[in-house]
Chain A
Amino acid sequence: MSSADLRYPRQTLWADYIRATAGVVLCGAPLVALDVNRWMALLLGAGFLLFVVFLARTALRQRTRYVLAADTLCADGPAGTLVEWNRLDRLKLSYYSTKRDRSDGWMQLAVGSAGGRTIKIDSALEGFYDIVERAAAAAEANKVELGTATRANLKSMGIAVAELEESV
């Protein structure tokens, strides 16, 4: 298997930049322009910090490329790390949606190998399916215990995990 160079699409990153900026402005503007009550300032300050962290994370994503190889998944960037498939010891696939009917959501994959940091990627990343498929195969080979949510999400992506039944 040859390695694949994967990045977040430009429009996804721009959407996140817009969200982060909107949040920073909405929480920061009253703090700057108005004489805000102490408790209100605490709330707005917390929101402001959260959106700044999100802005920093988006910038980090823009500068990171993910390399999917036969043996590893490498996050090459300012906070880069490496997951070795044959030492994979954790895999979590979550689904999030902001809608009431839980439609139009996105998946988030968290994988990590023994002794290494966890790599978290969203389904907006190019080649997300290939990474999940590879991670599921590695989890199967390493007999990694998977949660019910992860199994249900893998199944919904058409990835067979029949032999990964969690022991009840």
Chain B
Amino acid sequence: MLQYVVRRLLLMIPTLFVISFLVYFIIDLPPGDCVTSQIDELVARGEPDALKRAEELRHLYGLDHPLMHRYLSWVAGVFRWDFGLSCQDTVPVKDLIGERIALTMIMEAATIAFIWIVSFVIGVYAATHQYKLGDYVASFFGFIGLAVPNFLLALVLLYVGKVYFGLSIGGLMDAQYLEKSMSWDKAVSILQHLIIPVIVIGTSGTAGMIRRLRANLLDELQKQYVVTGRAKGLSEFRLLVKYPLRHAINPFVSDIGHLIPEVISGSVIVSVVLSLPTTGPMLLGALKTQDVNLAATFLLLVAVLTVIGMLVSDLLLAALDPRIRFGAAGEK
């Protein structure tokens, strides 16, 4: 196992460097930079020193240096938790992202927990009650969840909440807690506001996971060893838990790495629709204004979470099921 961990970590480190370079390079690729739009504004207002101001801003943000120089100083800064200056408000990126990162991580963690819990219960029920009413209902909602885009569900819930219940379900906390430091009341408010975004973002992931768990569990339940166990008089619950369930939950574990980027990228539009103070809307703004430091920092953090998620899922999978696979032969 040590050998496995070492090899995986050695793959992970260069992967992160390559991702960070690609992210930085691609965001910087379009013509112009984050100062261009600010200067256009100054020129439009008839500012006489617009060009001089542009040079000053470019110097301030380090845009007068070549790309590689900027990238290397940004990467060196990452180790000091210093991601440079954001062009949007000329403030350090770390001050801008602080609370948003924390709120995003709380929301994503809650969403992933929601996806796992709901899909585990429904998936097992649907597989053990195949072709019964419960299975059809679960499958129906599963397909609805897969088919309806997150942002549309968010819009519908916003409308229904406002028109029929008089509730404003946007935001991630009550207005009086905005810009305030964390307190018990603020935490409670966040938890109350989390419910809707978690359901909206988690629905599609849940739907996919239910289908996979149901299919895997049905495969396992039809294998010879289950029949043998049943013939030996094992109770249905013990028969389910002992092996089939253990094998069928492998996709749950292997999906940890995929879930994180899926949930984060899926939550960007939802965050805009529901006015959530998470990283999504800020990332969108940073990409539009070519704020390289801010956008690259967000994307690097997503990449780090993804790579760590992949590592955790691979390690769990290696620990849970260290079998060789030849096109799944020999598993029966």
Contacts and interface: CB of A to CB of B under 8 A. Distances in A.
B324 A102 contact: yes
Given A96-B322, A168-B234, A152 B330 contact: yes
Interface stretch (B75-83, B97-105, B188-196): B75-83
Contacts of B9: 23, 47, 50-51
B80 A168 contact: no
Contacts of A20: 6
Given A95-B324, A152-B323, A36 B80 contact: yes
Nearest to B76: A34
Given A34-B79, A95-B323, A168 B3 contact: no
Interface residues of A, number: 36
Interface string B287-324: 00000000000000000000000000010001001111
A141 B325 CA distance: 27
B143 interface: no
Given A40-B79, A96-B318, A168-B229, A156 B324 contact: yes
Contact of A148 (B1, B8, B243): B243
Given A19-B6, A40-B81, A50-B5, A153 B13 contact: no
Contact of B81 (A19, A37, A57, A152): A37
A153 B11 contact: no
B163 to A, nearest CB: 46
B141 interface: no
Nearest to B314: A98
Interface string A22-55: 1100100010001111011000000100110110
Contacts of A98: 4, 7-8, 11, 314
Contacts, number: 86
B228 interface: yes
Residues of A contacting B: mostly: helix
Contacts of A57: 2
A26 B80 contact: no
A47 B330 CA distance: 36
A14 B161 CA distance: 65
B323 A23 contact: no
A4 B47 CA distance: 87
A19 B10 contact: yes
A51 B3 CA distance: 10
A105 interface: yes
Interface string A63-87: 0000000000000000000000000
A57 B3 CA distance: 10
Interface in B1-35: 1-11, 13
Nearest to A124: B3
A79 to B, nearest CB: 14
Contacts of B225: 168
B132 interface: no
A106 interface: yes
B326 interface: yes
B180 interface: no
Interface string B51-93: 0000000000000000000000000100111000000000000
A5 B242 CA distance: 41
A148 B7 contact: no
B331 interface: yes
Nearest to A156: B324
Nearest to A55: B6
B322 A168 contact: no
B45 interface: no
Contacts of B81: 37, 39-40
Contacts of A50: 5-6, 9
Contacts of B3: 16, 54, 96, 106, 108, 122
Contacts of B242: 168
A132 B229 CA distance: 29
Contacts of B7: 19, 98
13 contacts: A19-B7, A35-B79, A50-B5, A50-B6, A51-B9, A57-B2, A96-B1, A106-B3, A107-B324, A108-B3, A122-B3, A168-B229, A168-B232
Q: Which 6 A-B pairs have the closest CB atoms?
A: A94-B322, A37-B81, A95-B324, A168-B229, A96-B4, A149-B323
Interface of B: 1-11, 13, 76, 79-81, 225, 228-229, 232, 234, 239, 242-243, 314, 318, 321-326, 330-331
